[in-house]
Amino acid sequence: MAQEPVRVLVTGAAGQIGYALVPMIARGVLLGPNQPVILHMLDIPPAAESLNGVKMELVDAAFPLLKGVVATTDVVEACTGVNIAIMVGGFPRKEGMERKDVMSKNVSIYKAQASALEKHAAANCKVLVVANPANTNALILKEFAPSIPEKNISCLTRLDHNRALGQISERLNVQVSDVKNVIIWGNHSSTQYPDVNHATVKLPSGEEKSVRELVADDAWLNGEFISTVQQRGAAIIKARKLSSALSAASAACDHIRDWVLGTPEGTWVSMGVYSDGSYNVPAGLIYSFPVTCRDGEWSIVQGLSIDEFSRKKLDLTAEELTEEKALAYSCLS
């Protein structure tokens, strides 16, 4: 029997991540090759013509899974009936800025769009916030959409997770698909903590070995590896004069696909989710944790050992998120 289409909202769809993301969704990268989709694309009036151009290209691409396109500057029309909302709309940082420097422009968008989603999205809509500062925008969206369950609101740290996998794969000269269980803790910012203490590589023999053992260079793992992942967004901006787009779009698809369809047995991924106090991270922040997903729900991986070096880093990035929360409220008032 043919499956009912899933309605997927992409905000900021006329922007550069949007342009990379919507064809991925229409090709089945988000929800698999058998799941039809209807795309809802939102942008602001100055981008309306460009948004219409993206719609024309989607028609021209004749994607078999794409059953409809709504392209609009009306937030209510955009949010109506959506099952998945990927919130990319906002302003990107420029060279030399931190991601929280776009806070004052972007948090107000998330406050405003929270109520449209709350009132008009389908029940149980899953929300992924991509726009920076991603964790704090997601928190503001959560606080101004109190009837959306907190388990349905997340932010993107999968790009950082994938960057960490990529760095290990390059260093060890192994396939990226054979590396797993890195963790991004905390904020999608330069205080995030990319942690390899539980990460493994599958060797050609089939045996799994610890990344720390195989790399055998703690100075690199505790130093350059961490700063490379933390600063990768800035390095892309320096090189492209624009922030990352194709890798961000791909990571957004990975995030939603694993959330909806489940993580493979024995594998976890990183998602920014509402803290319940696990690992002594203050409750009430949107913080990146290792999670597994099953039946459309994520759960934080419990019981991982945290050494003293890691503890400090988990706390530092939590402190930054607490400060960002206060800053966000001061921007809104």
Ligand X SMILES: O=C([O-])CC(=O)C(=O)O
Nearest residue (CB) to ligand NAI, 40 versus 200: 40
Q: How many residues can be counted in the chain?
A: 333
Residues 60-89, interacting with ligand NAI (CB under 6 A): 88-89
The piece of 5-13, 26-34, 229-237, 325-333 that touches ligand X (CB under 6 A) is 229-237
Single out the catalytic residue among 40, 161, 188, 255: 188
Part of the chain binding ligand NAI (CB under 6 A), chosen from 38-46, 281-289, 295-303, 319-327: 38-46
Look-up of token digits 């909202």 = 9
Consult the annotation and say whether 13 binds a ligand: yes
List the one residue from 243, 250, 275, 288 that touches ligand X (CB under 6 A). Answer: 243
89 is in an annotated binding site: no
Q: What angle do CA 160, 161, 166 make, to 5 degrees?
A: 95
How many whole angstroms from its chain centre is CA 48?
Answer: 25
Q: Which residues have a Cβ under 8 Å from the Cβ of 38 and sit 6 or more positions away? A: 5, 6, 7, 8, 66, 67, 68, 69, 70
Minimum CB–partner distance for residue 134 and ligand X (Å): 7
Applying CB under 6 A, which of residues 72, 106, 113, 132 lies at the interface with ligand X? 132
From ligand NAI, ligand X, none, which one binds at residue 236 (CB under 5 to 8 Å depending on kind)? Answer: ligand X
CA distance 263 to 1: 26
Determine if 194 is a binding residue for ligand NAI (CB under 6 A): no
Q: Which is nearer to ligand NAI, 210 or 228 (CB)?
A: 228
Please say which residue, 92 or 194, places its beta carbon nearer to ligand X.
92
Determine if residue 17 is labeled as part of a ligand binding site: yes
Q: Is residue 148 close enough to count as binding ligand NAI by CB under 6 A?
A: no
Interface stretch with ligand NAI, choices 57-65, 242-250, 306-314, 317-325 (CB under 6 A): 242-250
User: CB neighbours (10 Å) of residue 265?
Assistant: 7
In terms of Cα–Cα distance, which of 24, 13, 7 is closest to 61? 24
188 is catalytic: yes
Instruction: Report phi then psi at 292, rounded to 5.
Output: -115, 155
Judge whether 296 is annotated as a binding position: no
157 touching ligand X, by CB under 6 A: no
Is residue 233 close enough to count as binding ligand X by CB under 6 A?
yes
Tell me how far, at minimum, the Cβ of 107 lies from ligand X, in Å: 15
Judged by CB under 6 A, the residue of 174, 215, 236, 316 near ligand X is 236
Chosen from ligand NAI, ligand X, none, partner binding at 117 (C-beta under 5 to 8 Å by type): none
| Residue facing ligand X at closest CB distance | 233
- Token digits of residue 244: 């990352």
92 cis-preceded (ω within 30 degrees of 0): no
Which of 93, 180, 255, 325 is in the footprint of ligand X by CB under 6 A?
93
Q: Does residue 16 interact with ligand NAI by CB under 6 A?
A: yes
Count of C-beta atoms within a 10 Å radius of residue 79? 25
Catalytic site positions: 188
- Binding residues vs ligand NAI (CB under 6 A): 11-12, 14-18, 42-44, 47, 88-93, 102, 109, 130-132, 134, 156, 159, 188, 243-245, 248
Residue ranges for the known binding site for NAD(+) are: 12-18, 43, 106, 130-132
Residue ranges for the known binding site for substrate are: 93, 99, 132, 163
